[in-house]
């Protein structure tokens, strides 16, 4: 076995699809299913709590079970697609996924509900990694940027269109359609792949030398860390034995994975894949991007729901006008620029857009309505479209496409892990800042405060002068103070988002130039340029 094969993992090669447009359509639907289902479940969780009579703790663990299994399987999907082919991996997964999605709204009992959600998440983890493998195994080079654009489009589109879907389902069609939408879409993905995906032989030699231990170690370690991050804020991090055990256990398994990859004869995803400068900075940019974009994806809807008290249907208009419609123009512009300029410039433009959006959002006040966030949503949508797409192109351009199996394992870990890390960091930040502002605001209110007595006296003219009326007046004051503390905390959330955008800009400064290859902006011009005719020799 060659040294390069030992260092980077199995070679990825496939058959070019004869119907690339159908493959692109399947990629579009598969990537959207992942984004929509993850976002729709998170936004629609309050409705699911009511439908299944779940407590706060039960709903929190249901959310964890419905997402954590994705990272357990996703890193190994690229290898499975390399060995068995995309058809054998994707088609059965989509059909079983549709059946489970149909069954979940019909079940009763907590155990069955949790088991079905876990199985559904496991299948959901197949879609995105398989999408990347289809791009490099079954699409011609000229379609690579389009395929990657579709992969990147799902991030801003699903985050924003998810609110529209939850609003429509919750208020008009019924909460069951949070699941039943996949009964229609998933079989359509299977049909497109059945028609368009080429038939490939099973790679028996690769199957015989499978690094099952490495796959199990990486998936298990990342799943444990994912659960720890998901439950950390609610259980107060290291104050909880469960969270501490998960963090320590996940770290030990991760170390075991890297040791395994360095000693096994045929490694599955050797660490050398991510040790180059450009790839290391590319992964760091993905992390900074996810943390920065959380200002738009988490802070805005949380403020409108928790402070203003709006249902998702009331917020959907903002996201249709500010995100769903413009995102197609932004991603098209990103593809256009990617064909002409270096990826680093597009990444920089995205971070700058999110930084400006965060600055505007940091001026948040209690008077803001949904449409007050329109400039912020537009800037974050532009930033998400440019930064994520161009960073994925940059990462893949710095990787050998023939080694996409190994590189994809790390891409999936960074993708899912960074999203959960961003949610955990921002949730903890908002909780701590709300406590801080509550203490500061409450500290100026004392029993002898003339301002407090003046406000209570005005309120007593509405509630009366009975002892109960006095308590109701104090309750109103407390509610107003707590609401103002939340507003200040959400404004601080935008400040944190701005800081991560600045970190992302600094990271771009240290990124090296893209190597020449199929994703380089000059590739099509150099490969299509006519070769100079040899000079005629004089006789």
302-311, 351-360, 381-390, 517-526: the lowest-pLDDT one: 517-526
Q: Say if 196 falls within a structural domain.
A: yes
Q: Are residues 150 and 291 in the same domain?
A: no
Q: Is position 287 within any domain? A: yes
Pair 44, 136 in one domain = yes
195 and 288 share a domain?
no
* Judgement on whether residues 438 and 321 belong to the same structural domain of the protein: yes
Domain that residue 152 falls in:
9-203
Query: Is residue 531 assigned to a domain?
Result: no
Of the candidate ranges 228-232, 353-357, 467-471, 493-497, the one whose mean pLDDT is the lowest? 467-471
> Are residues 195 and 276 both part of a single domain?
no
- In which element (H, E) is residue 325 found? none
Asked, for residue 75, whether it belongs to a domain, the answer is: yes
> Of 203, 223, 245, which residue constitutes the final position of a domain?
203
- For CA atoms 62, 67, 73, 77, give the dihedral sign: positive
Looking at every residue in the chain, the average pLDDT score rounds to: 83
Q: Containing H/E element for 307?
A: none
CATH number at residue 378: 1.20.1250
pTM (two decimals): 0.85
Last residue of a domain, one of 203, 236, 253: 203
Same domain, 184 and 283: no
CB within 8 Å of 341: residues ≥ 6 apart: 521
**Residues 176 and 288 placed together within one structural domain of the fold:** no
Report yes or no on 245 lying in a domain: no
Q: Per-residue DSSP letters for 179-238?
A: HHHHHHHHHHHHHHHHHHSPP----HHHHHT--HHHHHHHHHHHHHHHHHHHHHHHHTGG
Q: What is the CATH number of the domain that holds 122?
A: 1.20.1250.20
Residue 448 tokens, joined: 């002898």
Are 169 and 294 in the same domain?
no
Last residue of some domain: 145, 172, 203?
A: 203
C-alpha closest to that of 74 among 111, 24, 42, 34: 34
Q: Which of 110-119, 260-269, 376-385 has the lowest mean pLDDT?
A: 260-269
- Residue 189 inside a domain? The answer is yes
Residue 458 neighbours by CB under 8 Å, 6+ apart = none
DSSP 97-110: HHHHHHHGGG--SH
Residues 372 and 495 occupy one common structural domain: yes
Segment 227-247 shows an average pLDDT of 93
pLDDT digits (tens, 9 = 90+) for 367-390: 899 999 999 999 999 999 999 999
Please check whether residue 23 lies inside any domain of the structure.
yes
> What total of structural domains would you count in the chain?
2
Same domain assignment for residues 102 and 192: yes
478 and 350 in a single domain? The answer is yes
Task: Give the residue carrying structure tokens 């398989």.
Answer: 130
Does residue 40 sit in the same domain as residue 125? yes
Q: What is the pLDDT of residue 1?
A: 42
Residue 240 lies in a domain: no
pLDDT for res 7: 46
């Amino acid at each position: 076995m060659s040294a390069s094969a030992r260092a980077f993992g199995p070679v990825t090669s496939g058959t070019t699809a004869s119907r690339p447009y159908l493959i692109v359509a399947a990629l579009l639907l598969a990537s959207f299913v992942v984004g929509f289902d993850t976002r729709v479940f998170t936004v629609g969780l309050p409705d699911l709590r009511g439908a299944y009579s779940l407590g706060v703790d039960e709903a929190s663990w249901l959310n964890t079970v419905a997402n954590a299994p994705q990272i357990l399987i996703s890193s190994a999907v690229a290898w499975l697609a390399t060995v068995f082919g995309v058809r054998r991996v994707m088609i059965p997964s989509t059909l079983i996924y549709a059946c489970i999605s149909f069954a979940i709204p019909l079940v009763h009992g907590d155990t069955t509900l949790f088991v079905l959600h876990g199985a559904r998440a496991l299948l959901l983890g197949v879609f995105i990694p398989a999408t990347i493998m289809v791009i490099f195994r079954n699409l011609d080079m000229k379609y690579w940027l389009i395929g990657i654009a579709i992969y990147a489009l799902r991030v801003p589109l699903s985050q924003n269109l998810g609110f529209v879907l939850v609003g429509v389902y919750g208020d008009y069609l019924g909460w069951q359609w949070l699941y039943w939408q996949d009964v229609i879409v998933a079989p359509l993905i299977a049909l497109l792949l059945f028609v368009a995906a080429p038939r490939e032989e099973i790679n028996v030699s690769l199957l015989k030398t499978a690094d099952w231990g490495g796959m199990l170690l990486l998936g298990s370690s990342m799943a444990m860390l994912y659960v720890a991050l998901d439950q950390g804020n609610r259980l107060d991090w290291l104050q909880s034995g469960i969270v501490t055990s998960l963090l320590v256990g996940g770290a030990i398994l991760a170390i075991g994975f890297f040791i395994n990859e360095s000693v096994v004869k045929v490694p599955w995803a050797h660490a050398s894949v991510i040790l180059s400068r450009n790839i290391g900075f590319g992964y760091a940019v993905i992390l900074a991007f996810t943390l920065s974009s959380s200002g738009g994806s988490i802070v805005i809807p949380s403020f409108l729901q928790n402070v203003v008290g709006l249902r998702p249907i009331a917020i959907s208009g903002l996201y249709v006008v500010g995100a769903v419609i413009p995102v197609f123009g932004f991603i098209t512009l990103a593809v256009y620029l990617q064909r002409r300029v270096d990826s680093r410039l597009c990444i920089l433009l995205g971070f700058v857009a999110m930084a400006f959006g965060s600055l505007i959002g940091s001026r948040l006040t209690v008077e803001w309505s949904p449409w007050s966030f329109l400039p912020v949503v537009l800037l974050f949508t532009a930033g998400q479209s440019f930064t994520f797409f161009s960073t994925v192109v940059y990462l893949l351009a710095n990787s050998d496409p023939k080694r996409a199996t190994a590189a994809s394992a790390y891409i999936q870990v960074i993708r899912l892990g960074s999203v959960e890390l961003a949610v955990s960091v921002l949730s903890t930040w908002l909780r701590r800042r709300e406590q801080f502002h509550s203490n500061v605001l409450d500290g100026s209110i004392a029993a002898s405060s003339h301002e407090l007595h003046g406000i209570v006296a005005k309120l007593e003219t509405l509630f009366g002068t009975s002892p109960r009326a006095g308590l109701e007046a104090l309750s109103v004051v407390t509610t107003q103070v707590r609401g103002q503390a939340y507003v200040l905390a959400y404004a601080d959330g935008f400040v944190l988002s701005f800081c991560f955008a600045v970190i992302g800009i600094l990271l771009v400064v240290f990124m090296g130039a893209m190597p020449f290859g199929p994703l380089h902006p000059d590739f099509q011009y150099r490969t299509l340029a006519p070769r100079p005719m040899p000079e005629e020799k004089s006789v």
